[in-house]
């Protein structure tokens, strides 16, 4: 754990967990010295450090899930133990009272960890997260059973510590839990790193939205499932003029502002990406062409009304949008994209800042034009020959 933290200090949770392990190791060393006496150190300080170790473990999981760490909660368990041990004679004198108190502290921290890890599944689904949550919740439940056992069947005191069959079993469970907890922490760090790398490979660096590759994979998967929907291709109007007039920093600001504005308007299930340069794409599943066109018009008006600020200058933005629906052009992405791209070209030719949807008639006209373009050169070559 120390090696992980020293290798990459961005793993702040590993720092807390590493400290928790070192504190736990030191308190275990103090436990082994109990036969030699010095109860204030081996019992008082030892159990205080055990409480602190679990508190630091709890703090590490809070940091891992980007939640607030409350110092009062971190210090609460150790302070409760210290005050009770120094101020309440039964705690210092009776090993079973100490078992009840330490069990309550450790079980509370363990259960809290389990709940936090479980709640984190909503924002980040790591493969080991569910198992780790159940593991800590189970440990909290098992360790809390020491409380009724200490009351019903009190453990005897020998060589400065408790001993009985049930106490030995719970100690064995604690030992196994410590090892498995460390494994769970390391696996979660590994899975978090892998998830971030996967996300980075699917994300456009500048805008933070999906990149072309991930968009193609996701849309083709939807289309393979016979999902209906409409593909929209966006192109920012006169973007080259923005770069030439205001500079590339301003151009980047326009791109990020545009993507943020569209992203804020997306409906559930929509896929949005930067296709390349100033071109973006959006796939709206379950949207027929009429509904998709109304949505695209709303986006066009929204973008036309926005103004991007860069270095004290306001830059106006407009966008042209081409649409093609799967119901008309089929579930083949290449065909769908070609139709939407030609509709986008028509929007540009018609004056920009508008929405044009592809139609079969327009596709046939385009096909006829391409055929004429191929036939004329061939005929000319024949005459020349």
Give the residue extent of every domain in the chain.
2-201, 212-371
Our separate counts of H helices and E strands in the chain read: 17, 9
SS3 (DSSP) at 385: coil
**CB-based contacts of 255, cutoff 8 Å, min separation 6:** 206, 207, 236, 274, 278
Across the strands, what pairs with 280? 234, 274
From the candidates 124, 267, 268, 278, which is the catalytic residue?
Answer: 278
Output the pLDDT for position 293.
Answer: 95
In Å, how far are 70, 236, 319 from 300, measured between CA atoms?
A: 46, 10, 6
The answer to whether 116 touches 67, Cβ cutoff 8 Å, is yes
The answer to whether 296 touches 323, Cβ cutoff 8 Å, is yes
Q: Rounded to the nearest 5°, which phi and psi values hold at 234? A: -110, 145
Q: Are strands 156-158 and 161-163 parallel, antiparallel or unpaired?
A: antiparallel
In Å, how far are 89, 126, 158 from 199, measured between CA atoms?
A: 56, 13, 56
Output the pLDDT for position 381.
Answer: 40
Question: Which contiguous run of DSSP H or E holds residue 103?
Answer: helix 95-119
The answer to whether 20 touches 35, Cβ cutoff 8 Å, is no
In Å, how far are 222, 227, 329 from 286, measured between CA atoms?
A: 11, 7, 15
SS3 (DSSP) at 87: helix
- CATH code for the structural domain at 212-371: 3.30.70.270
Q: Give the N- to C-terminal CA distance of the chain in Å, as an integer.
A: 78
Output the pLDDT for position 276.
Answer: 87
SS3 (DSSP) at 127: coil
- Residue with structure tokens 């994979």? 217
Q: pLDDT per position in the chain (385 positions), as tens?
A: 888 888 877 788 999 999 999 999 999 999 999 888 889 999 999 999 999 999 999 999 999 999 999 999 999 999 999 999 999 999 999 999 999 999 999 999 999 999 999 999 888 888 999 999 999 999 999 999 999 999 999 998 887 788 889 988 998 998 899 899 999 999 999 998 888 888 888 889 899 899 999 999 999 988 887 768 999 999 999 999 888 888 889 999 999 999 999 999 999 999 999 998 899 999 999 899 999 999 999 999 999 998 888 777 888 899 999 999 999 998 889 999 999 999 999 999 999 999 999 988 655 555 545 545 454 444 444 333 3
CA separation for the pair 362, 371 (Å, rounded)? 14
* Residue-wise DSSP of 348-370: HHTTSS-EEE--HHHHHHHHHHH
Give the global pTM. 0.70
Instruction: Choose among 134, 112, 128, 132: nearest CA to 67.
Output: 112
Q: Are strands 307-310 and 271-276 parallel, antiparallel or unpaired?
A: unpaired
Output the pLDDT for position 124.
Answer: 86
Q: Are strands 279-285 and 229-236 parallel, antiparallel or unpaired?
A: antiparallel
Output the pLDDT for position 365.
Answer: 56
Check if 278 is active-site. yes
CA separation for the pair 129, 141 (Å, rounded)? 18
Output the pLDDT for position 385.
Answer: 37
Instruction: Choose among 58, 55, 31: nearest CA to 44.
Output: 31
CA separation for the pair 54, 51 (Å, rounded)? 5
- Residue with structure tokens 């007039």? 245
């Amino acid at each position: 754990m120390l090696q992980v933290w020293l290798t990459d200090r961005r793993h702040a949770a590993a720092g807390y967990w590493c400290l928790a392990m070192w504190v736990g190791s030191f308190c275990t060393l103090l436990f082994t010295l109990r036969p030699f006496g010095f109860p204030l150190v081996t019992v008082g300080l030892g159990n205080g450090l055990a409480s602190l170790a679990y508190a630091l473990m709890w703090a590490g999981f809070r940091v891992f899930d980007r939640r607030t760490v409350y110092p009062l909660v971190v210090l609460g368990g150790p302070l409760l133990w210290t005050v009770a041990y120094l101020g309440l004679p039964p705690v210092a004198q009776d090993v079973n009272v100490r078992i009840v108190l330490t069990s309550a502290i450790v079980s509370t921290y363990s259960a809290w960890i389990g709940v936090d890890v479980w709640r984190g599944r909503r924002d980040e689904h790591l493969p080991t997260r569910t198992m780790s949550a159940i593991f800590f919740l189970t440990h909290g439940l098992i360790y809390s059973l020491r409380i009724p056992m200490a009351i019903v069947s009190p453990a005897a005191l020998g060589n400065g510590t408790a001993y009985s069959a049930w106490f030995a079993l719970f100690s064995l469970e604690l030992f196994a839990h410590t090892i498995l907890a460390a494994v769970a922490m390391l696996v979660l760090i590994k899975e978090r790193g892998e998830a971030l790398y996967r996300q980075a490979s699917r994300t456009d660096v500048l805008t933070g939205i999906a990149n072309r590759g991930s968009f193609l994979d996701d849309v083709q998967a939807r289309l393979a499932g016979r999902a209906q929907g409409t593909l929209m291709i966006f192109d920012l109007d006169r973007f080259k003029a923005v770069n030439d007039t205001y500079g590339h920093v301003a151009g980047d600001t326009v791109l990020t502002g545009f993507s943020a504005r569209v992203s804020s308007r997306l409906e559930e299930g929509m896929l949005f990406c930067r296709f390349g340069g100033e071109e973006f794409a959006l796939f709206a599943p379950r949207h027929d062409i009429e509904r998709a066109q109304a949505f695209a018009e709303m986006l066009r008006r929204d973008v036309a009304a926005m103004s991007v600020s860069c270095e004290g200058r306001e830059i106006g933005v407009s966008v042209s949008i081409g649409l093609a629906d799967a119901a008309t052009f089929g579930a083949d992405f290449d065909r769908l994209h070609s139709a939407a791209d030609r509709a986008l070209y028509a929007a540009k030719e018609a004056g920009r800042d508008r929405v044009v949807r592809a139609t079969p008639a327009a596709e046939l006209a385009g096909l006829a034009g391409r055929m004429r373009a191929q036939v004329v050169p061939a005929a000319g070559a024949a005459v020349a020959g």
